[in-house]
Structures are given as structure tokens and as C-alpha cells.
């Protein structure tokens, strides 16, 4: 018999923008109080934003669902409502069972308390007795690999350490419902793998998991159902494969090339990406690339700064990351010149991609701050070509990279 674990009824969440984020309880109380004194208005007050609208769905106990969608789609807001970190403006969420959650770094733990104290605090919040928590304690510490820092206040933790402990707590305190937001974005690859393994275990034990991630391979491996959020509403809800392909198709529908107009982006925004140009070179037609030929990615910005870093990742048509480029990893042939204007360019002598369709995500940072992040900032097709004299044909099902190589073949003389 299946039972409902999570029920969302017409959830909507409105944020007032330009007044900072309201992630702490104190901020929420302050917001609640100030709301009391606002005159009721017909229509929409300026500076409000609906992060979620009319979101209704049910998740059965034991279901493992992936929530996907572009930056700003409302995924984290939904998980924050489910884990009671924030209240919905309208509608309600009902959860049946003990909830463990790992949301973005910065929520869930008390910064002044040590790692050890936070483990007990979280257990108590989940309704566990002290002895029960004690029993799990060693497992949590072993999994998190942060034993040396157990008695350090978590505000001194690096984001990687924080996520290690937060995940260990969320997954080991036997939640019946596990909510995980983007854990894979932080931490090293080995730890990410360990987290995925642990989530698979939790799911295998028949517990309910909601998993938010931009990593389609991870979502696909872990989840059976998918919910695709777009602009705060449920755009698609179905099998994980159908959901991912619907999502990837909509990434391609991004209108026009005027990236400045795009609202689905993240970052401070003091510096923004306005246009991406992809071609073989300065004088070559845009958008045409071939395997084994040169390639040039140009990013036009609203301005420039000396501590600017540009990062971009190429994804294949299935949404798997293929290659990442980062201007902060210095190479001997890099050139710095004020004459480049507000444009940063990445040149490749030989494109080692197999024929097919690709997209790129772009991030701009200045200092340590994310200024702008755009998913699907540009698309490009790679045509068949030649790599050092050897033809490269289209065989996308055998992989997306091509490499210069030579054969040594025995001859039957």
C-alpha cells in the first residue's frame, strides 16, 4: 500500500526584492511584522517577485524524485518551504514523516555551535532521543571525515567541511523524508560520489527522497520521477527520463541572442554577460565549428575588472558536462591587454569534440564573488571534420570527444 509522504497544495511564494534575503528566523519575523503595517493593495506592488506559483503535487512514500530547472526556477524555495525554513505566501505543504534536509550552505546549522553540538541539535529537531543520536554519532563523524573539527564552531568551517557534516547529519539521522539541494555542487568528486551512494542507500531502504540538482547524470541515476520547475510553476511532472528530455529541449528554446535581457541568471550582477559569439575565428562565420578545426569563444560583458574570471562548461546534448575552461588557471600563452575591451575570448587550436549539438553555461566572477551565471548561454553545432588528417565522423552514441592518435597495425605479408 502506498502512502503519501509529501503533499503540496497550491503553494505560492512571494519575495520582496531589493530588501535582501530573508533566510533567518529573525528576518522572517521582521518581514512578517512589516507586512502587518502595509496597506492592502490591489494589483502587484512593485518590487515583488513570485518565486513559486500554484505548485501542487504529491510524492508517495518511498518515491525518489528529482527536481530540475534553470537558475531561479524556484527549486531551493520549494525545498525551503518543505523543510519549514520559510513559509509559503499561499497554499500549504504537508509532510508525513521525519524530515532530514540538506539545503544550500548557510541553512540548517547554527553557526555559533560546534559540529558536535549541531549534530545533537539536529537530532533533537528530528525528534530523536539523546541515546538514539549518540548511537548514530560515530557513523556521522566517520562519514563526514571532519573528526578534527568537531569542537570548532561551524561558522569557521569551509563550505566543503560544512557540506560534509550537513550531509552526514541529514542522511544518517534516519529521516523518513530526505530533502537534498545541490549537495553535489560543493565538495570534491570522491565525496560527491559517497553522497550519491548514501542517497541511493536511503532510497533503497524505501525512504522518500527529493533531490535538486543541475547534474542530470546524477539525477537520472538516482531518481525515478522528475519534476521540472520553470519560472516558479510545474512545467512537467513524469518519469525522470521524460522530465530530463523536456528540460533539455526547453534549454534550446532560449529566445534571441540578447543575453542582457535574460532574467534566469544568478550572481550579483555588477558585471554581466551580454553576448556570446562562437566561431572558428575572428573573420569566420558565427556558429559554424568543425571537429579538429580551431574554435573561438568570445564573451561580451557590460564592463571589465582586473580580477575578472570567466568560466564556461560545454555540455553535450544529453546534458552531461564535457569540458570546463577557467581563465584563472593561467597558461603560458594567455594574453592580457586593455585593448580587448569588455570582451574575454578563449581560443582553441583544435576542437576535440565529435560532431553534434552542444551548449555552454557561463559564469563570471570578480574577486570571490559570483557576478553572473547563465545556463544555456549559447548553443553550437560541431560538423564532421578532420583531426590531424584523420576524418572525424558523427557517431554520438560512442562518445563526444575525439583525440589525436595513431595506430600500429600488423600486416599479413
Ligand X SMILES: Nc1ncnc2c1ncn2[C@@H]1O[C@H](COP(=O)(O)OP(=O)(O)OP(=O)(O)O)[C@@H](O)[C@H]1O
Q: Give me the residues that bind ligand X (CB under 6 A), please.
A: 15, 17, 21-23, 49, 51, 69, 71-77, 266
**Strand-strand pairing, 90-95 and 308-315:** unpaired
Nearer CB in complex with Mg ion: 143/228? 228
CA dist 259 → 17, 301, 318, 376, 396 (Å):
21, 10, 23, 10, 29
Nearer CB in complex with ligand X: 363/400? 363
Nine cell digits for residue 143: 562519514
Task: State in angstroms the smallest separation of the CB of 261 from ligand X.
Answer: 15
Nearer CB in complex with ligand X: 71/304? 71
Nearer CB in complex with ligand X: 44/151? 44
Task: State in angstroms the smallest separation of the CB of 206 from ligand X.
Answer: 27
Nearer CB in complex with ligand X: 20/127? 20
CA dist 207 → 96, 126, 200, 217, 343 (Å):
12, 15, 10, 21, 49
Closest CA to 266 of 307, 317, 315, 214: 214
The contact pattern for Mg ion, residues 319-358, with x = CB under 5 A and - = no contact, is: ----------------------------------------
Nearer CB in complex with ligand X: 149/312? 312
* Residue 142, contacted partner among Mg ion, ligand X, none, CB below 5-8 A by kind: none
Angle at 102 between CA 92 and CA 118, to 5 degrees: 110
Decide: is 76 part of the binding site for Mg ion (CB under 5 A). yes
* Residue 194, contacted partner among Mg ion, ligand X, none, CB below 5-8 A by kind: none
Task: State in angstroms the smallest separation of the CB of 17 from ligand X.
Answer: 5
Task: State in angstroms the smallest separation of the CB of 259 from ligand X.
Answer: 16
CA distance 373 to 361: 7
* Residue 356, contacted partner among ligand X, Mg ion, none, CB below 5-8 A by kind: none
* Residue 22, contacted partner among ligand X, Mg ion, none, CB below 5-8 A by kind: ligand X
**Strand-strand pairing, 225-230 and 233-239:** antiparallel
CB contact set of 190 (below 8 Å; sequence gap of 6+) = none
Question: Within a 10 A sphere around the Cβ of 313, how many other Cβ atoms?
Answer: 16
Distinct helix (H) and strand (E) counts, the chain: 8, 19
Nearer CB in complex with ligand X: 13/207? 13
Count, residues near Mg ion per rule CB under 5 A: 1
* Residue 231, contacted partner among Mg ion, ligand X, none, CB below 5-8 A by kind: none
* Residue 221, contacted partner among Mg ion, ligand X, none, CB below 5-8 A by kind: none
Closest CA to 284 of 301, 299, 298, 302: 298
* Residue 49, contacted partner among Mg ion, ligand X, none, CB below 5-8 A by kind: ligand X
Nearer CB in complex with Mg ion: 76/215? 76
Q: Rounded to 10 degrees, what is the CA torsion of 236, 238, 240, 242?
A: -70
Cβ atoms 216, 246 nearer than 8 A = no
Task: State in angstroms the smallest separation of the CB of 17 from Mg ion.
Answer: 16
CA dist 377 → 34, 64, 75, 289 (Å):
38, 30, 20, 17
Task: State in angstroms the smallest separation of the CB of 184 from Mg ion.
Answer: 12
Q: Point out which residues bind Mg ion (CB under 5 A).
A: 76
Amino acid at each position: 500500500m502506498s502512502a503519501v509522504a509529501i503533499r503540496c497544495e497550491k503553494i505560492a511564494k512571494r519575495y520582496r526584492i531589493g530588501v535582501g534575503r530573508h533566510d533567518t528566523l529573525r528576518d522572517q519575523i521582521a518581514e512578517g511584522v512589516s507586512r502587518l503595517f502595509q496597506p492592502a493593495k490591489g494589483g502587484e506592488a512593485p518590487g515583488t517577485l513570485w518565486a513559486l506559483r500554484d505548485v501542487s503535487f504529491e510524492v508517495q512514500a518511498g518515491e525518489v524524485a528529482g527536481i530540475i530547472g534553470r537558475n531561479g526556477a524556484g527549486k531551493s524555495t520549494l525545498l525551503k518551504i518543505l523543510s519549514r525554513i520559510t513559509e509559503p505566501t499561499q497554499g500549504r505543504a504537508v509532510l508525513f514523516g521525519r524530515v532530514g534536509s540538506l539545503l544550500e550552505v548557510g541553512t540548517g546549522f547554527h553557526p555559533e555551535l560546534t559540529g558536535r553540538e549541531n549534530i545533537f541539535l539536529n537530532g533533537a529537531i528530528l525528534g530523536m532521543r539523546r541515546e538514539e543520536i549518540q548511537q548514530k554519532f560515530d557513523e556521522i563523524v566517520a562519514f563526514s571525515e571532519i573528526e578534527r573539527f568537531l569542537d570548532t564552531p561551524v561558522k569557521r568551517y569551509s563550505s566543503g567541511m560544512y557540506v560534509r557534516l550537513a550531509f552526514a547529519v541529514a542522511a544518517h539521522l534516519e529521516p523518513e523524508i530526505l530533502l537534498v539541494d545541490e549537495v553535489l555542487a560543493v565538495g570534491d568528486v570522491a565525496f560527491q560520489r559517497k553522497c550519491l551512494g548514501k542517497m541511493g542507500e536511503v532510497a533503497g531502504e524505501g525512504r522518500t527522497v527529493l533531490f535538486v540538482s543541475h547534474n542530470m547524470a546524477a539525477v537520472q541515476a538516482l531518481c525515478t520521477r522528475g519534476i521540472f520547475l520553470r519560472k516558479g510553476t510545474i512545467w512537467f511532472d513524469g518519469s525522470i527520463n521524460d522530465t530530463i528530455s523536456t528540460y533539455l529541449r526547453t534549454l534550446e528554446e532560449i529566445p534571441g541572442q540578447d543575453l542582457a535581457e535574460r532574467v534566469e541568471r544568478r550572481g550579483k550582477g555588477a558585471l554581466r554577460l551580454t553576448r556570446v559569439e562562437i566561431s572558428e575565428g575572428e573573420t569566420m562565420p558565427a556558429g559554424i565549428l568543425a571537429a579538429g578545426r580551431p574554435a573561438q569563444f568570445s564573451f561580451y560583458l557590460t564592463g571589465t575588472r582586473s580580477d575578472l574570471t570567466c568560466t564556461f562548461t560545454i555540455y553535450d546534448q544529453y546534458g552531461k558536462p564535457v569540458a570546463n575552461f577557467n581563465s584563472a588557471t593561467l597558461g603560458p600563452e594567455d594574453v592580457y591587454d586593455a585593448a580587448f575591451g569588455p570582451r574575454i575570448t578563449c581560443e582553441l587550436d583544435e576542437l576535440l569534440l565529435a560532431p553534434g549539438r552542444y551548449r555552454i553555461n557561463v559564469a563570471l566572477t570578480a574577486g570571490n564573488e559570483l557576478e553572473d551565471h547563465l545556463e544555456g548561454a549559447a548553443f553550437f553545432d560541431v560538423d564532421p571534420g578532420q583531426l590531424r588528417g584523420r576524418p572525424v565522423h558523427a557517431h554520438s552514441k560512442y562518445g563526444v570527444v575525439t583525440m589525436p592518435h595513431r595506430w600500429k597495425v600488423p600486416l599479413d605479408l
